[in-house]
Amino acid sequence: MNLYFRALKYVKPYIYRGLCAAVCTAIAAGGTAYLPWIIKDMVDQVLKEKNTDMLNYIVLSIIVVFIIRGIAFYGQSYLMNYVGQKVIIDIRKDVFEKLQRLGLDFYDKNKTGTIMSYVTNDVGALQSAMVENVVEMVTESVILIASIVMMIYLDWRLFLVTFSTFPIVLLFIDWFGKRIRKSGSRIQEATADITSVLQETVSSARVIKSFVREEYEIERFERENVKNFRANMKYAQLSATLTPTIEFVAAVGVTIILWYGGNSVIDGKITAGSLVAFLTYAVNISNPIKRLSRVIGNIQKAMAAAQRVFGVLDLPESIQNMPNAKLLPLVKGHVRFNNVSFAYNSGEQVLNNMSFDVKPGEMIAFVGPSGAGKSTVASLLPRFYDVTDGSITIDGEDIRQVTLNSLREQVGIVPQETVLFNGSVYDNILYGRLDATKEEVEAAAKAANAHNFIMELPQGYNTMLGDRGVNISGGQRQRISIARAILKNPQILILDEATSALDTESERVVQEALDRLMVGRTSFVIAHRLSTIKNADKIMVLEKGSLLEQGTHDELMAMNGLYAHLYKIQYRGKEVH
pLDDT at 499: 64
Instruction: Give long-range contacts, CB 8 A cutoff, 24+ apart: 552-555.
Output: none
State which residues of the chain have pLDDT below 50.
573, 575-577
Each residue of 133-154: pLDDT tens digit?
777 777 777 777 877 888 788 7
Give ranges for CATH 1.20.1560.10 in the chain.
2-313
Identify the CATH class of 418-489. alpha beta
pLDDT at 473: 78
Q: Does domain 2-313 have CATH number 1.20.1560.10?
A: yes
pLDDT at 290: 67
pLDDT at 468: 64
Question: Which ranges constitute the DSSP H helices of 519-561?
Answer: 553-559
d(CA 364, CA 22): 67
pLDDT at 159: 77
pLDDT at 416: 73
Phi, psi of 218 (to 5 degrees): -65, -45
**CA separation (Å) from 435 to 300, 403, 408, 439, 485?**
47, 21, 17, 12, 14
**CA separation (Å) from 129 to 4, 179, 241?**
9, 17, 21
d(CA 403, CA 407): 6
Give ranges for CATH 3.40.50.300 in the chain.
326-410+494-506+523-572, 418-489
d(CA 431, CA 163): 66
Each residue of 278-297: pLDDT tens digit?
777 777 676 777 677 777 77
- Is pTM beyond 0.85 here? no
Residue 119, classed as helix, strand or coil, is helix
Strands ordered across the beta sheet of 335-345: 348-358, 335-345, 389-394, 397-398
Please state which CATH number belongs to domain 326-410+494-506+523-572: 3.40.50.300
Query: Which residue in 385, 389, 383 sits closest to 402, CA to CA?
Result: 383
d(CA 398, CA 408): 14
DSSP string, 161-178: HHGGGHHHHHHHHHHHHH
Instruction: Give long-range contacts, CB 8 A cutoff, 24+ apart: 45-51.
Output: 45/273, 48/272, 48/273
